[in-house]
Structure 1
């Protein structure tokens, strides 16, 4: 996985938007004003922060050295994935999907209905 592939996939999610609120090297990805990812460039390996079910977060950290507790995030609910080539693109896409779906499932009913209707 590389920065461009991750960015393209994040923006392909239904109504995903990208902003750079604090740093031009850190994109923040939201759906309905709720963050589901950050993507960082300008470092040795690009990295992504993704929301994750706490039990799955621990499993992924045990399985992959490139999955770490969320950098500058709530470490129980967020993982940082480093794009060092040790994790397949398909697995990273699944992690992105999981993060996005967690956020969508916790939206207010009217927000989720509007999102699904426009998807």
Structure 2
């Protein structure tokens, strides 16, 4: 899973055992849970990207239990391939890292992961 590979990423369970929360330096960038019997991945996104992604993909909806402008939910089993999901996880991570104080950033957020899979 891409989230485990990211520098300084930690897996925590602040909402209980059924919700996998991935953080970087204490800030959440992804969580994985079951909603109404369906597994979902919830990620941070720029508001403009969030709208575009939701318009382009039926399997991307506003973030479950999160700010609907800044978070998206990915639904499995549809049109989203593994490369796209990996890219979206990396982008969520970069957005959170960019909001950290420079001294706490484990990577340079604007360059990390660009063009990599």
Q: Tell me, yes or no, if structure 1 residue 116 matches structure 2 residue 100.
A: no
Unaligned runs of 5+ in 2: 109-117
CA apart distance, 1:85: 3.2
Within 5 Å, which residues of 2 pair with 1:92-107?
A: 92-107=85-100
Q: Which residue of 2 aligns with 1:89?
A: 82
More helix by share: 1
Distance 1:57 1:82, change over 3 A: same
Answer yes or no: is 1:53 the counterpart of 2:46. Answer: yes
Q: Work out the CA distance in 1 between the residues paired with 2:21 and 2:77.
A: 21
Distance 1:116 1:92 in 2: 20
- Cα 1:64–1:16, aligned 2, differ >3 Å: closer, same or farther? same
TM-score by length of 2: 0.85
Q: Residues 25 and 42 of structure 1 are in contact (CA less than 8 Å); yes or no, is this contact kept in structure 2?
A: no
Instruction: Give the length in aligned residue pairs.
Output: 108
Q: With structure 1 as the length reference, what TM-score do the two structures score?
A: 0.84
In structure 1, which of residues 16, 21, 26 is the aligned counterpart of residue 19 of structure 2? 26
| Post-superposition offset of 1:14 | 0.5
RMSD: 1.7
Q: The residue matched to 2:107 in structure 1 has which SS?
A: helix
